[in-house]
Chain A
Amino acid sequence: MRKRLVGWLCDAALVLYFVFALFPIAWMVILSLKPTDQLFSTYFSFSPTLDGYRTVLGDSEGIPFVRFFVNSLVVSVGAVVLSLVVGLPAAYASARWRFKGSENLMFTLLSFRFAPELTVIIPLFVLYQKLGLFDTYVGMVWVLQLVTLPLIVWIMRSYFADLTPELEQAALLDGYTRKQAFFKVALPLVKPGIAAVSLLAFIFAWNNFVFPLILTSNEAQTVTVGALSFLGGDRPKYNLTAAAALVSVVPPLLLALTIQRYLVRGLSFGAVKS
């Protein structure tokens, strides 16, 4: 009897935490469906409308939100692809060969996580103005590497280290070249890892705020910065802000739900396996 009571209390505590975790998202949905004239009156009874979304996605209010959304897609995908191209060979090399300075190089890569963003952003801001990279896709992709590359190298390194080298050695004996062994044996085996880490990196790039805030103004601005602009103005438009916030979290949330199982592995991988 006492044991069952404790069990119920534990479940209740868990549910309580999840109410705290989920209520803000649910509240945004409610707020985004409210018509403008009922924003501040009654709370849970109102006539829902999609006008908020129509306004946000219809580029009204002078804020080109759809373009911000597309910008986010382009720069996040660009950063992930570039990071994969240079990161996979680096991860493979550091997992397969113990060479002079390998640990130091890897730590240097990881250590960029610890640097305050503004340290590099301000010089980049000055540099970008000079080079014409300010407010461009190239400039944003370049700087988002700082977020995606260390992540990809560190997690993929663990995946490659998990493969036994005998598989590639067998391929070499069969007359494969080193390059073929990498592309035809090692790479296909870590495909699930690549998928998970790419999506994780995409989410991190998509959610970044400081880089686009300072290094873009209008042309290459992303949704995280764009969503804030609905809060401005003399009368804050809460329903529009809520709709914009929700639209901007759709891609990361969809991805997170699809790859939930691998994501947890990806998040806990490098950190736990020391």
Chain B
Amino acid sequence: MGWRLTLRPYVLIVPALLLTCGILYPFGLGLYYTLFDFSASKPQPDMVGFENYRAVFTQKAFWNSAWVTVLYAVGAALTESVLGVAVALLLHRATLIGRILEKILILPLMIAPVIAAIIWKLMLQPSVGVVNYLLRPFGLGGVQWTDTPTGALLSSIAVDVWVYTPFVAILALAGLRSLPTSPFEAAAVDGAGWWYTFRRLTLPMLWPYVLVAVIFRFMDSLKVFDIIYALTEGGPGDSTVVLQIRAYLEAIRFQRYSFGISYTIVLWAVVYLAAMVLVKHLGKIQRKAAEVTT
């Protein structure tokens, strides 16, 4: 009896684990490849040790990509959290309009990001897109949305915001609905104003929920690919070449396989570090929120 009881969970998990190994294996293989100068022009690669990583870090294009990636991720995650929390607060008031609109909140999230990028690409065309058409009465009819470096970055962040703000809003709304009501009643009895209640009660208690959303969004935007690929393909110049796009260009377009994988390994390490720091921070904030609640 005893050994069967302890063995059973492992037996049940083994199939899932085997499939997971199906992913771990190529991951390990990728790591291994980065030690060679494996490319289409060199089918019999030599072992080069950490040469690929040295090349990545000394390449100017890498630091440019890293900078663009950080700008994109911070810009997108920040905008989405502020906008998402605002939308959640407005929906939490549960007016008739809010109750109707809440049902369709999820729609942009269900559209593939690449399709969303295609949609926005059509809308942002400088001469024939609908956005400039609508801006024309305000004297802004000729904005080159995706054809200037700043415009391209801002446009791609806008697409990210369009797709993922509902994600933050849903988590924040779920959080708002699960907050205890008694502190708010007490504050109302004491005659606390809206701003005071929001800053001293709502925000600190809601923060852990929002932070989960922000962490997910920040780490996902660090490895953005599809939105940029469909909207700007990294251009103009290399103004929107985020790290995954750079890795794609190196590995698939230029067929320098091991060099491209080195890029993604570096990105992976960065995302992991960011995750570790943020999750640690999350624990601290959750404890703080628990103090406010009690």
Contacts and interface: CB of A to CB of B under 8 A. Distances in A.
Interface of A: 7, 10-11, 13-15, 17-18, 20-22, 24-25, 27-28, 31, 39-40, 43, 82, 85-87, 89-90, 92-94, 96-97, 99, 102, 105, 108-109, 112, 114-120, 122-127, 142, 145-146, 149, 153, 178, 203, 206-210, 213-214, 224, 227-228, 231, 238, 241-242, 245, 248-249, 252-253, 255-256, 260, 263-264, 267-268, 271-272, 274
A124 B18 CA distance: 16
Interface in B70-96: 83, 86-87, 90-91, 93, 95
B8 A93 contact: yes
B83, B113, B226: residue with the most chain A Cβ atoms closer than 10 Å: B226
Nearest to A43: B133
8 contacts: A13-B90, A14-B97, A21-B165, A40-B128, A114-B271, A116-B244, A127-B29, A214-B252
Contacts of A209: 112-114, 225-226, 229
A253 B107 contact: yes
Contact of B115 (A109, A145, A249): A249
A25 B26 contact: no
B115 A263 contact: no
B193 interface: no
A109 B230 CA distance: 29
Contacts of B120: 24
A13 B86 CA distance: 9
B35 interface: no
Contact of A256 (B106, B122, B263): B106
A122 B13 contact: no
Contacts of B133: 43
Contacts of B103: 260
Contacts of B30: 119-120, 122-123
Contacts of A40: 128
Contact of A227 (B115, B165, B174, B209): B115
Contacts of A214: 252
B10 interface: yes
Given A123-B26, A264-B174, A145 B19 contact: yes
Contacts of A102: 9
B13, B87, B264: residue with the most chain A Cβ atoms closer than 10 Å: B13
Chain B contact residues: helix, strand, loop or mixed: helix
A197 to B, nearest CB: 14
Contacts of A149: 16, 19-20
A227 B118 contact: yes
A248 B286 CA distance: 40
Contacts of A7: 93, 95
Interface of B: 6, 8-10, 12-13, 15-20, 22-23, 26-27, 29-30, 33, 83, 86-87, 90-91, 93, 95, 97-98, 101, 103-116, 118-123, 128, 130, 133, 162, 165-167, 170-171, 174-175, 178, 209, 212-213, 216, 219, 223, 225-226, 229-230, 243-244, 247-248, 251-252, 257, 260-261, 263-265, 267-268, 271-272, 275, 286
A153 B15 CA distance: 12
Given A142-B22, A224-B114, A268 B16 contact: no
A116 B271 contact: yes
B22 A145 contact: yes
Contact of B112 (A116, A145, A248): A248
A114 B19 CA distance: 17
Contact of B91 (A14, A109, A272): A14
A205 to B, nearest CB: 11
Given A86-B15, A86-B19, A114-B219, A127 B121 contact: no
Considering the complex of A and B, which 6 residue pairs feature the smallest CB-CB distances, nearest first? A207-B112, A90-B16, A93-B12, A268-B174, A93-B9, A86-B15
Contact of B167 (A15, A96, A267): A267
A271 B213 contact: yes
B110 A256 contact: yes
B167 to A, nearest CB: 7
A90 B27 contact: no
Contact of B171 (A94, A153, A271): A271
Contacts of A224: 112, 114-115
A206 B9 contact: no
Contacts of A127: 26, 29
Contact of B113 (A108, A142, A207, A253): A207
Contact of A97 (B9, B20, B223): B9
Contact of A271 (B216, B226, B271): B216
